[in-house]
Amino acid sequence: RTGALDEMVLSLTARGMTSGEIVAHLDEVYGMKTSKETISTITDKALDSMNEWRTRPLDAVYPVVFVDAIHVKIRDGQVANRPIYVAIAVTADGYREILGLWAGDGGEGAKFWQQVLTDLRNRGVRDVLMLVCDGLSALPDAVANVWPQTV
């Protein structure tokens, strides 16, 4: 296998193709015989890297954190709109950093945001000076529970 094949498999997976569809695509387009197990090995390697990123320690303080949810179509047996909760910070050095992405299973709610903010605190974020969010009414209470001095 080459790195290019791994990149192609990950790209096709990200576009929503199943392992079986990828095997068929590689055979049809490139005449390449492979197996679902090979495809799974490639995607599992990427999942390990993603998990390391998702659980990495974060800075203790961020001057600004932006939070919001975007709704995307996700295939999980069937295609459905699901919220992806996003937290992006501005570091003390002025750089943007994606703190995390979380897939929800319902509408955007303060209860899920409480879990997201608690996860950030558990990964090392001790203080956020300012949190920027939309008008979700219960979100300020969730923020105050995790970082009481945050504006």
Digit-coded pLDDT (tens) for 6-22: 889 988 988 878 899 99
pLDDT computed for residue 26 by the predictor: 93
Span 40-63, average pLDDT: 91
CB 113 within 8 A of CB 142: yes
Residue 137, pLDDT > 90, answer no
pLDDT computed for residue 78 by the predictor: 80
CB 101 within 8 A of CB 36: no
* Nearest residue to 53 (alpha-carbon basis) of 100, 97, 10: 100
pLDDT computed for residue 143 by the predictor: 93
pLDDT computed for residue 90 by the predictor: 97
SS3 state at 124: coil
CA distances for 106 relative to 31, 74, 84, 115, angstroms: 42, 12, 10, 14
pLDDT computed for residue 107 by the predictor: 61
- Average pLDDT over all residues of the chain: 89
pLDDT band (50, 70, 90) for residue 1 = low
Count Cα atoms within 13 angstroms, Cβ side, for 58: 29
Q: What is the pLDDT of residues 91-130, one digit of tens each?
A: 999 999 999 999 887 666 778 889 999 999 999 999 999 9
pLDDT computed for residue 139 by the predictor: 87
d(CA 7, CA 9): 6
Percent of the chain's residues with pLDDT above 70: 97
CB 129 within 8 A of CB 61: yes
Residues facing residue 96 across a β-bridge: 90
